[in-house]
């Protein structure tokens, strides 16, 4: 019963809770128990601990999609960075008339609200502007208690879209790295046509891990340049 009640607590309540109480509540809603933050052992307990206690000054840079691109360009070169077509604070200023598809419109401080413009027919100006305005007002850092997002200046950005045959986006690899060593890899595919994902260890052995989306049932080849 307690777990059922916790699930019904909305984000409006989260706004006035102290950080520790909010992190405990989010964890409880997901796992049905409180995290051990005094001696965190599991992956998710360590993420909860990091939200509250690890304020590394590098985190806000990499939480900001605009600042991260500049930082990564310095580290490995501009040629590895997706082209930025426009940046601004007012979505009404997006230069739709001069932008040539395909491109992606997104905010720099949050996730999940990207707008993909594959052809001119995808340009629904009023709807896109309203969506971006709403996302600009979303306090990602405060709502989810992800400290690194709190200091990011909210902006809208337009990037060149990497489009694969058939119109979908490329396969997505996420490397979970601790103390400069990759420990496991998340692989996502068909993100906008039936999202699926698997998890692998460093040697590309499938792990019995489930996050949000259904697993990929067919074998996935180990990337040739994984090493």
Please determine, for residue 131, whether its predicted confidence score (pLDDT) is greater than 70: yes
Whether the per-residue pLDDT at 191 is higher than 70: the answer is yes
**Residue 219 above 50 pLDDT?**
yes
pLDDT at 151: 87
Mapping DSSP to helix (H, G, I), strand (E, B) and coil, where does residue 55 land? coil
How many whole angstroms separate alpha carbon 189 and alpha carbon 213?
10
Share of the chain above pLDDT 90, in %: 77
* Alpha-carbon distances, residue 121 vs 129, 142, 148 (angstroms): 16, 36, 36
**Rounded CA gap, 70 and 77, in Å?**
9
Q: Is the dihedral of CA 73, 78, 81, 85 positive or negative?
A: positive
| Predicted pLDDT at 176 | 93
pTM over 0.75: yes
pLDDT for residue 3: 41
> In the chain, which residue ranges form alpha helices assigned H by DSSP?
2-7, 11-14, 19-31, 43-53, 59-63, 65-76, 125-136, 140-144, 147-150, 191-194
Quick one: CA torsion of 154, 159, 163, 169, rounded to 10 degrees?
Answer: -20
């Amino acid at each position: 019963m307690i777990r059922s009640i916790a699930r019904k607590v909305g984000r409006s309540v989260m706004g006035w809770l102290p950080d520790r109480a909010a992190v405990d509540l989010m964890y409880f809603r997901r796992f049905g128990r409180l995290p051990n933050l005094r001696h965190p052992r599991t992956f998710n307990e360590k993420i909860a601990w990091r939200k509250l206690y690890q304020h590394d000054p590098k985190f806000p840079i990499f939480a900001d999609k605009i600042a991260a691109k500049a930082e990564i360009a310095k580290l490995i070169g501009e040629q590895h960075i997706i082209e930025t077509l426009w940046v601004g604070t007012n979505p009404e200023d997006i230069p739709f008339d001069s932008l040539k598809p395909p491109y992606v419109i997104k905010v720099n401080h949050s996730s999940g609200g990207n707008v993909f413009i594959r052809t001119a027919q995808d340009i629904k100006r009023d709807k896109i502007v309203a969506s971006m305005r709403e996302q600009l007002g979303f306090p990602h850092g405060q709502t989810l208690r992800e400290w690194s997002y709190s200091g990011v200046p909210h902006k809208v950005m337009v990037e060149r879209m990497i489009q694969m045959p058939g119109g979908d986006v490329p396969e997505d690899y996420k490397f979970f790295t601790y103390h400069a060593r990759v420990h496991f890899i998340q692989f996502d595919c068909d993100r906008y046509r039936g999202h699926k994902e698997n998890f692998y260890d460093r040697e590309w052995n499938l792990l019995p891990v489930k996050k949000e989306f259904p697993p990929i049932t067919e074998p996935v080849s180990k990337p040739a340049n994984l090493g």
